[in-house]
Amino acid sequence: MNDTLELQVRDLEVNVLTGIYSEETHLPQPLRISLFVTIDCAERFAPDTPLAASKSYIDLKHAATALPQGVHFTLIEAVADHIAETLFVGDARVRRVRIDIVKLAIAEAGESIGISMVRHRP
């Protein structure tokens, strides 16, 4: 069994063109996105281990925030798939990605309404 490391970036607020109803399709909607990315890891991390032995959190943040401009994602599931694919293509060590997306605009009483998607390296 290989050792793994889970990197986390939580609660990014990103405006995304998404939705199926007419009131949703013209303006970006605020989404709260959290990422949990499992990578293969080194046997041990010494105090002087370089960043190349892990993965930069900035790469995770970029995958969630640098979505294609002008593209309308009908479903937030498609947003999650795009993020997962970006992470898999960007680093061969990525084994598993979990993406949580909450649609902030439809909450009426502070509830979290959204999805969690888990994808494994194909």
Torsion of CA 16, 10, 120, 31, to 10 degrees: -20
Model confidence at 109, in pLDDT bands (50, 70, 90)? confident
Q: How many domains does the chain have?
A: 1
Query: Phi/psi at 21 (nearest 5 deg)?
Result: -90, 150
Domain residues for 27?
4-120
Each residue of 78-108: pLDDT tens digit?
Answer: 999 999 999 999 999 999 999 999 999 887 8
Strands 29-40 and 114-120, bridge-based pairing: unpaired
Distance CA 43, CA 34 (A): 27
Instruction: Check pLDDT > 70 for residue 23.
Output: no
| Paired tokens of 108 | 């009426």
Each residue of 30-73: pLDDT tens digit?
Answer: 999 999 999 988 778 889 988 888 888 999 999 999 999 889 99
Structural contact between residues 86 and 59, judged by C-beta atoms closer than 8 angstroms: no
CATH of the domain at 56: 3.30.1130.10
Model confidence at 25, in pLDDT bands (50, 70, 90)? low
Distance CA 88, CA 102 (A): 22
